[in-house]
Amino acid sequence: MKLIETLNWRYATKKFDSKKKINSTHLELLKEAVRLSVSSYGLQLYKVLIIEDPKKKKLLRKASWDQSQITDASHLFVFCSYNQNFNEGVDSYINLLQEGVEESKKAGILAYGKSIKKSISAMGEGERQSWSEKQCYLAMNNLLIAAAELKLDACPMEGFEPDKYDEILGLNDQGLHAVLVAPIGFRALDDSTHFRKKVRRSSEELFELI
């Protein structure tokens, strides 16, 4: 299974080669992998910003505890959850479900949309925020695996100041909130993290067959 080999190859890259850039073909493949991610109800209630502007990345580095990955990586993926307009997101999804569908089946799709809205509205504000943010984690996983498949390096990061990201990227006006970031690019040859042993719990410890 090549996937296992790929997962053994990847690691959370701490130092990127700032001179190497992702080509447009690979960038489109990464976007498609994220687009095809699983999400609750299939809604994909998140947005992914891809930052390549050096000036913008420099500002974001200041809001990321001055971590060099932010500026040295080829591209910075910022996963943002929606914190409002959930009903609009559901309506948009339901409209997509109805495309090309027989009229006789559309009533059932509309009923499904109402059911989704009811479930979301029943959540408390904190629960809804947590649920929305978890969707970003699911999407990022696809990004990390796709990057490794393309032999691109990545570093999933929670070590940043989300509120400052929101301000720098103008997310508040869009009803968005920065949740996760992932610099993508190429490892530097002198990245010491590359040579660390990959440590994971054993299968016997991690799994239990019932």
**Residue 154 belongs to some domain of the structure:** yes
**Residue 104 belongs to some domain of the structure:** no
Assign residue 179 the CATH number of its domain.
Answer: 3.40.109.10
Could you read off the pLDDT of 130-147 as tens digits, one per residue?
A: 999 999 999 999 999 999
pLDDT of residue 181: 98
- In the chain, the number of structural domains is 1
Whole-number average pLDDT of the chain: 96
**Residue 28 belongs to some domain of the structure:** yes
**Residue 117 belongs to some domain of the structure:** no
pLDDT of residue 75: 98
**Residue 74 belongs to some domain of the structure:** yes
pLDDT of residue 85: 84
**Residue 181 belongs to some domain of the structure:** yes
DSSP, residue by residue, the chain: -HHHHHHHH--B-SSB-TT----HHHHHHHHHHHHT---GGG---EEEEEE--HHHHHHHHHTTTT-THHHHSSEEEEEEEE-S-HHHHHHHHHHHHHTT--HHHHHHHHHHHHHHHHHHHTS-HHHHHHHHHHHHHHHHHHHHHHHHHTT-EE--B--S-HHHHHHHTT-GGGTEEEEEEEEEE-B-TT-GGGGSPP----HHHH----
Full domain range(s) for residue 35: 13-91+124-195
